[in-house]
Structure 1
């Protein structure tokens, strides 16, 4: 909230004082969009999370300005449609790519639909300056409460500590009704920590002792998570003493201290012996003054994988829908541009920019996000209409932009609330830029965009519907197979095993998220992904069993009939569900 309050409002003020209000408005919009992408976590990873979308937005402004100035209505619409196809495919690669695709199209809509005296290059630089200002605040300002230690790594430290807390919570829940939810929470904590440690310079050979120590502490948590998962698979409750060690490790990470004595769990079964061994190794890691250099334990999607995702079934389907929505909304907006319906509000960028946000599946089910967008826009526009009648100009508008910028981080918890705050902020920026009050027209444009996206979202597309969900399930099945082959091959490379295990659980979590969103759609869309939840359940059981096999093989060198039977049962179920995960010859 502090960063948000210091971003958009001051940038707009700087533009007004410099006599370059339009550029100040663009810088404030860039800061607002960067604020939407700003999330808790490590500072270093925020460079990618905020910087890549901002660069895409600046590129969109540059392209949109050139196209808007040099093309007639029909060629411009075709160009924007093609850009929508490209951005939609890119958005299927991952969260950062999705944000980049969104800002690329928003920037293009603003550049093409917001006439101004500035060149495309000036606009792009102003946009980058606005996003860069918020990123600089993100890197420089300490998190409240972190001033006592090295605040540069407070986000990374908190993320690693959450992993140990999640291990302790799973151990405490083993054999009970909440065990499955705790195992899922452990996966989420590991994913978050992996992302937090993936920023610049947090790589194989980190640049400082603090970084190396954090990376080593994260690595030390992986065998603990593996042992806890094996205990979860066995289903036998463990003593409260077993969870006390990971809790003390979590406190040591947060306080950047040593661990002190750790209570040893019982060593009665292989998984408990593995847990005890992992605690001992973790204690040794924590007691070192400097973390040892670590080999990377996170596989990243390379250029080939990104291209495959963008050109795959999910990328093509999403790209077509984005292209249709973006192109059709731009065409409709330009057609209405010269009608009385627009009146004196002649900038048509709002309609395509709204459609871009609405068509994004990672913001929730289609019907839900359409309703939230409509409700949030109506509420925000009415609030702004009341405030605009009493606020002085431009000082009151600048103050309103600052307040809304501070509220953006809170409002991102719900799409309707985020829409309401962003609507007030954007309307204030538009008025500060010299336009008249535009609440009524923005409500009408938003409702039109909602109707358009609902129609396009339910249109049949070439190929199989639900392709994005099935593509993620396919990736999860491939990762599960690679993990299974490695474990049954009895390779001694535990670091590689942990990499494969992380990949298996991470891709499975991504598939489950996509399945949950698809299942919440209206029946006309939800029916296309029916049954995928059962496939995810079976894959999850297979990966859990593979983890239990790994721990048991480490201890005894052989598998029990229960392990083998569970593997065969999961693989047989997957075969009947249409997912091919071959059983390695070693089984």
Structure 2
């Protein structure tokens, strides 16, 4: 082991720059993402929002067309899933919440302080609902957004007209989304499984090479596995009985796990694998994507070491399963367990929401900001005041990133969007010309959303202004009030939603990382737990696999929290950056444990008596140290342990982690 393996790039973006240059945390938010252009989503968005507007003009009811387009805009927000069944949930469920929201807002339109009280209560419910999960988060967002719009804009009468029109727009997006379902019903799941094989091939190709490259490829495998299991198991939870196609995809995913387990052992050898091995995995990816069956033809080199034997055995078994037309439906385990029925998960989600301190805290935080925004515009004359509360809602959304940076990026994105909106409102005649303009602007929303929050805001702003103009007919006079309202909303969030809540200034990485270290201790114990017979061996292996997958999921969550914290201004972002080496160290401890288990399975000697217990005890001590310390101190050259045997790499990585957490 060399100290060169311990050198790790910390993606904090906090390098020394010119004194007048913008801060790194702001530049991180303004740097466009590298995601590919979602052409299909862009086309759907353009059609879904332009067609209702055209129908409204044709029927001489432009207000109705604008409301349907607003509902379509909400559907465009929810059209983010890959699997078609998930798209139904992601679009349809939030539409129902949005319909309730606009109905409530319409009923309190022009009611003064009653509207303030009702919107504050809706904000509390919206914030709490958002904590349940992804679909609930979008649902809570639409509940509050539509309530604010209904309370701030004159809606057609009777009261049920606006909910009906908005829902029609969302259902139109859903219809466009599902047009390809008969032809591509299982394609998203199959493509996700194939992508996992390709990610694993890249990781095998990186074995024996630079540590940083291998770590990145292994994380790509974890992300691909998470996505594929989520898609396949999520669909299986809604299928009664055993679906042969889903069983086959689940079996193809499961046989990847032994190869992924053997990869760390191969990497620790320090020599690249034969090129035929990653090439064979890529060939299996093509077979998965094309649905090929038959007899596989593998040309693999003869294995010599325990890690090579492990990969060879796992790869040959994977090839047999991939090409098998009908795997045994009762011999396929779910690794992470089959998800509970949707109604059961919903019931548990509501129960957890009501009992969660974090859920109540976020709900109260959002309610406070919305209450202040609505109180302000009730006391001070602000034109079209609904925009203030809309800004608060978008900025304070919990799963969009840092509150502080979002407030700043929202102001910048709104300013950029208003420049485009000003050009449209000043130069484009109102009427039928709005239809092609809307088609272009709406198509930009999915494209810009993939680039970052500021870009998404810049794309959405002119669309909302154009639709609002169909309802209030203010034209160019909308521009400056909207900028002022956005700045007011951002200021409310920064004060009442950020500065008044000390938890906003601290990162949760330490606590979440400590939980992952505790899980790693349990994983070490499970990996080398004694077994009495074959049945216990199978149960122990499955338990170990589940534990390992959960650790990597937890660490993925830590990484997401880390990236969010880096967009915070100092000192929060700097504190988060200090945790990075320890995140990497914990991942390597899990990898080294897996590699040791693979070596033992293929001929290496078992650990010495008491060695496993000692490692688990040291990991739990490390977890306690992480919980008690405010911030780790990074060191570049950890001590080399003198341990020998199959667990020597684990001792090395554990010593490195302990040195990072407490170099004294």
Confirm or deny: 8 A CA contact 2:510 2:627 kept in the other structure.
no
Q: Distance in 2 between matches of 1:23 and 1:474?
A: 54
Query: Is 1:162 matched with 2:209?
Result: no
* Equivalence map 1:154-233=2 (5 Å): 154-177=187-210, 178-201=213-236, 209-232=244-267
1:319 corresponds in structure 2 to 363
Residue correspondences, number: 566
Equivalent residues in 2 for 1:17-32, closer than 5 Å: 17-18=58-59, 20-32=61-73
By how many angstroms is 1:186 displaced?
Answer: 1.0
Alpha-carbon distance between aligned partners in 2 of 1:420 and 1:273, rounded to the nearest angstrom? 54
SS, match of residue 261 in structure 1: coil
List per-residue Cα deviations over 1:288-320 (Å, max 9, x = no partner): 223442443445584446644675454344333
Secondary structure of the equivalent of 1:290? Answer: coil
Equivalent position to 2:391, from 354, 362, 382: 354
Asked if 1:543 is matched to 2:604, the reply is no
How large is the Cα RMSD of the aligned pairs?
A: 3.3
Structure 1 match to 2:88: 47
Deviation at 1:109, TM superposition (A): 0.9
Aligned to 2:538, what secondary structure does the other structure show?
coil
**One of 400, 410, 416 as aligned partner of 2:454:** 416
- Distance (whole Å) between structure 1 residues aligned to residue 501 and residue 244 of structure 2: 53
**Residue 364 of structure 1: CA displacement?**
2.8
SS of the aligned residue for 1:578 comes to: helix
- Matches of residues 446-525 of structure 1 in structure 2 within 5 Å? 446-461=486-501, 466=506, 469=509, 472-473=512-513, 476=516, 479-480=519-520, 483-489=523-529, 491-493=537-539, 494-525=541-572
* Corresponding residue number in structure 1 for 2:76: 35
What is the deviation of 1:212? 3.4
- Largest Rg, 1 or 2: 2
Shift of 1:200: 4.0
Q: Are the aligned partners of 2:395 and 2:403 in contact in 1 as well (CA < 8 Å)?
A: yes
Q: Distance in 1 between matches of 2:299 and 2:365?
A: 56
Matches within 5 A, 1:273-422: 273-293=309-329, 294-299=332-337, 300=339, 302=345, 303-304=347-348, 307-308=351-352, 311-336=355-380, 339=381, 341-342=382-383, 347-413=384-450, 414-422=452-460
Counterparts in 2 of 1:167 and 1:353: CA distance versus 1, 3 Å:
same
| Structure 1 pair 372–547 and aligned structure 2 pair: CA distance change class (3 A) | same
Looking at structure 2, the residues matched to 225 and 206 of structure 1 have their Cα atoms a distance apart, in angstroms, of: 30
- Return the alpha-carbon distance in structure 1 between the equivalents of residues 503 and 524 of structure 2: 31
Over 3 Å counting, the alpha-carbon distance change for 1:67 and 1:543 in structure 2 is farther
Q: How far off its partner does 1:202 sit?
A: 6.0
How many Å apart are 1:426 and its aligned residue? 0.9
Distance 1:504 1:354, change over 3 A: same
1:129–1:156: structure 2 CA closer, same or farther, 3 Å change rule? same
TM-score, length basis structure 1: 0.86
2:625 alignment counterpart: 576
Partner of 2:660: none
Name the structure 1 match of 2:125: 86
**Per the alignment, do residues 551 and 567 of structure 1 end up closer, same or farther by CA in structure 2, a change over 3 Å counting?**
farther
| SS of 1:395 mapped into structure 2 | coil
Assess if the C-alpha contact under 8 Å between 1:8 and 1:402 holds in 2: yes
Report the Cα distance in structure 1 between the residues aligned to 2:420 and 2:458, rounded to whole angstroms. Answer: 9
Compare 184-193 and 96-105 and name the one that shifted more: 96-105
How far apart are residue 453 of structure 1 and its match?
1.6
Checking the alignment, whether the CA contact within 8 Å between 1:87 and 1:101 is kept in structure 2 is yes
Structure 1 position 499, deviation (Å): 3.3
* 8 Å Cα contact 1:397/1:432 also seen in 2: no
Shift of 1:527: 6.7
Q: Is the 8 A contact 2:154 2:471 kept in 1?
A: no
In the superposition, the TM-score normalised over structure 2's length comes to: 0.76
Structure 1: any 5+ residue segments left out of the alignment? Answer: 581-586
Select between 504-513 and 371-380 the one with higher mean Cα deviation.
371-380
Which residue among 97, 101, 113 is the counterpart of 1:56? 97
Aligned-residue offset at 1:169: 0.9
Q: Matches of 1:98 and 1:501 in 2, distance apart?
A: 28
Deviation at residue 60 of structure 1 after TM alignment: 1.9
Matching residue within 232, 247, 254 for 2:289? 254
Provide the secondary structure at the position in 1 that maps to 2:427: coil
How far is the alpha carbon of 1:115 from its aligned partner?
2.4
The 1-side partners of 2:512 and 2:109 are apart by 37
Q: Distance in 2 between matches of 1:523 and 1:394?
A: 49
Gaps in structure 2 of 5+ consecutive residues: 1-41, 532-536, 630-650, 652-664
The CA distance in 2 between the partners of 1:463 and 1:190, in whole Å, is: 32
> Distance between the aligned counterparts of 2:596 and 2:289, measured in 1?
33
Q: Distance in 1 between matches of 2:322 and 2:172?
A: 36
497-506 vs 101-110, which moves further? 497-506
Over residues 326-376 of structure 1, what are the superposed CA-to-partner deviations in whole Å (9 max), with x where a residue is unaligned? Answer: 22222223334xx2x52xxxx322111111111124323334322322222
Q: Match of 1:583?
A: none
Asked if 1:127 corresponds to 2:163, the answer is no
Matched, 1:272 2:308: yes
1:105-164 CA-partner distances (Å, limit 9, x unpaired): 11221122222233443322322222222122222137xxxx9xx522222222111111
